[in-house]
Structure formats: structure tokens, C-alpha cells
Structure 1
Amino acid sequence: MAQGKPIERRIQKTILVVDDTPGNIDMMLNILKEYDVIPATSGEEALFLLENETVDMILLDIMMPSMDGFEVCSRLKANEATREIPVIFITAKNDLDSIEKAYDAGGVDYVTKPFRPRELMARVKTHLHLREVIGKLDYLATHDSLTGLYNRRKFFELGRKLYNSSKSTVSAVIIDIDHFKRINDCHGHHSGDLVLKAVTKTIGALLPKQSVLGRVGGEEFAALIDACTMDDVKQLIDIIRITVSELIISIGGGAGLSCTISSGVARTGDGVASLDDLLKKADAALYEAKQSGRNRTIFRQSDTCTRQLPDE
């Protein structure tokens, strides 16, 4: 969760085919040869496979023993990990009640048996394309287009989830690139963009995997780190600060830029009643870091501050 990653684009799409009749599965395997097809002969097997497999679509029979397709689909839609997978029902049932029930359960399409291969392929391709378009739109709505980090809205959404679910201490870090306006003014906005990309890539690579990192301002970034001791956080932020200061960022024409960052850190404890409170304390610590010379980190816990200064 450290930073929003671009949408994964597998060359070959994966389709889960669920049908209790082996002959039907063989037929669909033959029709869907251009895809990676995973067969399942029961609803229970399908749900078990999806615990470890990532699929792009599910073709689901309705009439199966033990657990029918309606129940399988309802369970998929109730699970955050699988609810966005498009489900096409493929069944011999062609009455209006069954069709309505299939859509109510969360299906995106309904194909009756015996199905026509070309029609089935057309429907599969259409819904795979729609899934890809929706995925791109969702990415653009939740990520900063320049850095690939979570945007402000998504950062706060995920941040509140982490803050509310944490059973340990949460550390908030707000990071600002020192004298960034000067970089833009002297070298141009394209060079400024290259600096932003390089700095955020470095920060994202060094943060723990389960952290939340977002771009919350022009040259300002916020991170939430769960279950780290004060000493570990101090060491981590110092490593990030030093690593950024050692970057030589190519801006073309053989020229390179370097920069430094200032950070403010706050941790949950006395006087922190919400994520907003925590971030306000981190922001106040950042302000103090900038006022006291930049290229340093100020740590704040409750009403006390400690300073981490740059190496002389």
C-alpha cells in the first residue's frame, strides 16, 4: 500500500469457468483458447480457487448441486477481494424470473444454453474491455497522474481505514521538498516534475509495504506507518532524508539536480483523537523543521518535540 501502483496489464486474460458438466467445460475451453481458462466443477471449488487465483472474468452455471450459481455470485459480491470481477451466467434456464435473479445477484450478463460460440466470445470480449476501461478510470480517480501516488482523497480514505483498524501506534509523516519553487523557477516545470517523480519513487521504495503514501499538495507528501517503534521510524525517515539528498536527478542535456527534504513526524498518543489531529501535529512539526533550517526532521509525540538534524 506504500504507493498506488499502475494497473497491472497481463498479456493474457484469465477466465474462471464454473460448470458441473465436464462436457460444457471442455466446450468452453475450446472456444476460449486465446485466454487462460481455469475450470471448476462446483461453486465450492470456484470459491476455493479464488482465494489464491486472480481472474478477470467468471463464466458461471446456475444449476449446480450443493451451491447454485446465484449463491456463488452473491458470495463473490459480498467479498471485497472478488466483488469487482464480472460474472456472466451461462445456463439452460431461460425464464424471466431466473434472468432477473441473476442480475440481482450481481451478474453482468446472461447467456442461455445451448450457446453460440461467436456470441459468447463477443460478450466475453465486451465485458473484459469494460472491466479494463473501468479499471483505468478508477486508477485515474484515485491516483496522482504525475507521481503515481494516491491522491489526497484516496490517501485520506485509506489512511482512515489504517488509523481506525490499527491495534498499535501509527506514525504520520509529512514530507516537503525544500525550495521546490526555486527549482521550478530556475530550471522549469518539466525539471520540477522530474524531481517530484524521483523523490516520490525513492520514498515509496523505502517505506514499509503496508504504509499509505499520498501526494497531498504540490510538493508535499504524507505517509502513515503502522506498528513501528519510535526508534525504527527515526531511523527510517533519516534513511529517506539522506537517500534523497544523495540523488542526482537527470534533467536532460547532461545536467543533474539534487534536492533535500524536510519532514514532520507525529505518533498516536495523548492529545490525538483522530487522523486529522495526527496529521495536524505532523504538519506543525514539518513547519518547525522548515523554520529551523530545512533538510531535517522534527518528531512530535504528545506535546514534546525532538529534532533530527542533517549530518554536518
Structure 2
Amino acid sequence: MKNKTILVVDDTIANLDILVELLDQYDVIDATNGKDALEIVEDEHIDLILLDIMMPEMDGYEICQRLKSEENTKDIPIIFITAKTDENSIERAYDIGGADYVTKPFQPKELLARVKKELQIQELMNNLKLLASTDPLTKLYNRRYFANVSQHILELSKRQKNNLSIIIIDIDKFKNINDTYGHQAGDSVIVALANKLLHSHRKSDLACRYGGEEFVILLPNTQRNEALQVAEKLRKEIADISVDFQNKQHICFTVSIGVSEVVVANEPNIEKALKRADDALYEAKNSGRNKVCSI
């Protein structure tokens, strides 16, 4: 498992040297106290933590509790490495979220095996989370993920007092594409549109496949006029897409787009704004398609 990053925390330099040398197949960062360890986790992507318990000022238990209380660090597996062997210490380590417990002096091969096991479990969990949050055809986020994360984005926007906007995109006459070329061709069109969205939106934006041939983009810190410009640019670029299909067929398609703004001071969630964007989308559909409308 190359390129995994392990944080080793121990106040004894000799112990750190042993662990760094033993874990030479990984990227290892070391820290001699809890304060430095917490700062490192904030700044670096850490896959696993090896954590001593008995340290001055902040012991391993407190470090673990702090990490498990934060959303962005709670899922990092922690293996305690300590000279404490009593049952109460071991029980407490597991109770506060430790993944494993290794007593000193440890056997090198046993420690490496436990490290490998935890990294494998973590990778499996990450893959399961990815499958649960993404659409398998397009690799965009799915509707469930959008519903969960959009509320967090709204709360952040409220604190920053910045409005955000919503764009809903629907492929025009998609049923005709399926009926004329087949569902495989329809999937190819959906993937082509998704790829455009993947490479067009800002990193701060949240794009997802909302269902069928419908896509949604949430744009933080964006007012309606700005969102309309983004939507119109997308509409034009999508109209220029040509999907190569079997027998050298070239499928071109257009989209209709609805736009709305979420006024964060007035709206507890984005549901009403989503409905406005959806109404605007239907207005675009009913007034000729291949256009952007806003309500």
C-alpha cells in the first residue's frame, strides 16, 4: 500500500525512530506531542494514526477524543501503542474510538500486519462511501449526497451571509434519443453531459445527477445574475457536443435550464429554491426548449 500517510505520535524520540524505520513502505509523519499532532491532522491528509497514550500535557486519550469529535477527522483509524496493559486502559481506548491496541514492546511483524489490516479496512470503507454517494454511470454525486451536503453548504452560507444559486438542467427530448438510437445511446448522451459538468463547474460548486436525464448544480456565493451567466454558457457549450455512437452516428442534443437564487436570510433550507428552479426549468421546456429561464 504505497502512498498511504501514517501519523506517529510519541513523546519518546527513540520510539519514533523505530516506528519511522519500521514503516518505511509508507509516508510517515511524526509528532512528539498532542498539539503538534492535531495541527498536522488539520494540514495533512492522514490515513492512519499510531498514538501513544502516556504523554505530558495532552495524553493519547484526549487526542483521540478530540479527533473523533470533529467531522473531518472522526473517521481516521487510530491504533494505540502503549506500555499500559491493564484491562481498564484497553477498554477505555476502544470506548473512545480506537481501532486497535498494541502493547509495548511490540513485535514488528505483528504491528505491520495490524497497520495493513486497518488501512485495508479504511480503503474498503472509503470505497463503500464513494459508491453510496456517487452515480455509477456518470461518476457525479447522486441525489442522496446532494440532499445531505447542500444543507451544510446552506448553513455555511448563512454564517458568511452569502446567497447561493441553484441550476437545474434537463436534456431536451431525451425520450426521442432513446427511441431513435436505443438506451445505450441515451446513456452515452448522459455521460457526455456529465463530463461537461465535471470539467466546467468550480471546485466550490456541487454538481449531481438528480435523476434520469436531470442534473443539479449548487453554486455557493453566487447571485442569480451570475448563475444565469453560468447557465447560459453551459447551454451553449452543451449544444456544441456531438456524441459519437455506433455505426459512426453523431448525436447532438440540447438542454433546458432553470435557475433560482437562495436568499439565505429568508430560507431555512433549499427546498423552495429547488422548486423555483424546477418551475423555471418547465417554463424553459414549455416555451421552446434549449433556453435558460429563472424565477
TM-score, normalised to structure 1's length? 0.89
Equivalent-residue separation in structure 1 for 2:124 and 2:267 (angstroms): 41
How far does residue 272 in structure 1 lie from its aligned partner after superposition?
A: 5.7
How far does residue 244 in structure 1 lie from its aligned partner after superposition?
A: 0.6
Residue 232 of structure 1: aligned partner: 226
Equivalent-residue separation in structure 2 for 1:150 and 1:273 (angstroms): 23
Paired residues of 2:6 and 2:26 also in contact (CA < 8 A): yes
Aligned counterparts, 1:1-312, within 5 A: 11-166=2-157, 167-269=161-263, 274-300=269-295
How far does residue 90 in structure 1 lie from its aligned partner after superposition?
A: 0.3
Equivalent-residue separation in structure 2 for 1:272 and 1:66 (angstroms): 45
Equivalent-residue separation in structure 2 for 1:111 and 1:160 (angstroms): 40
Q: Letter of the 1:114 partner, please give it.
A: P
Larger relative helix fraction: 2
Equivalent-residue separation in structure 2 for 1:102 and 1:91 (angstroms): 11
Question: What runs of 5+ residues in structure 2 fail to find an aligned partner?
Answer: none
Paired residues of 2:167 and 2:227 also in contact (CA < 8 A): no
Paired residues of 2:223 and 2:261 also in contact (CA < 8 A): no
SS at match of 1:48: helix
Q: Deviations over 1:216-241 (max 9, x none)?
A: 11000112212223332121111100
Equivalent-residue separation in structure 1 for 2:68 and 2:282 (angstroms): 45
Q: Please identify, of 215-224 and 272-281, the stretch whose mean Cα deviation from structure 2 is larger.
A: 272-281
How far does residue 253 in structure 1 lie from its aligned partner after superposition?
A: 4.2
Q: Letter of the 1:201 partner, please give it.
A: N
How far does residue 252 in structure 1 lie from its aligned partner after superposition?
A: 4.3
Equivalent-residue separation in structure 2 for 1:31 and 1:87 (angstroms): 17
How many residue pairs get matched? 291
Residue 7 of structure 1: aligned partner: none
How far does residue 256 in structure 1 lie from its aligned partner after superposition?
A: 2.5
How far does residue 168 in structure 1 lie from its aligned partner after superposition?
A: 2.0
TM-score, normalised to structure 2's length? 0.94
Question: Aligned residues: percent identity?
Answer: 46
Paired residues of 2:258 and 2:284 also in contact (CA < 8 A): yes
Q: Please identify, of 201-210 and 86-95, the stretch whose mean Cα deviation from structure 2 is larger.
A: 201-210
Distance change (3 Å), C-alpha of 1:39 and 1:272? closer
Equivalent-residue separation in structure 1 for 2:23 and 2:266 (angstroms): 59
Equivalent-residue separation in structure 2 for 1:253 and 1:105 (angstroms): 61
Equivalent-residue separation in structure 1 for 2:147 and 2:192 (angstroms): 23
Q: Letter of the 1:36 partner, please give it.
A: D
Q: Letter of the 2:77 partner, please give it.
A: P
How far does residue 105 in structure 1 lie from its aligned partner after superposition?
A: 1.9
Equivalent-residue separation in structure 1 for 2:141 and 2:247 (angstroms): 31
C-alpha RMSD over aligned residues: 1.7
Equivalent-residue separation in structure 2 for 1:251 and 1:70 (angstroms): 59
How far does residue 193 in structure 1 lie from its aligned partner after superposition?
A: 1.6
SS at match of 1:216: strand
Q: Please identify, of 163-172 and 148-157, the stretch whose mean Cα deviation from structure 2 is larger.
A: 163-172
Q: Letter of the 2:289 partner, please give it.
A: R
Distance change (3 Å), C-alpha of 1:256 and 1:49? same
Q: Deviations over 1:165-196 (max 9, x none)?
A: 32222212111011112222222222222211
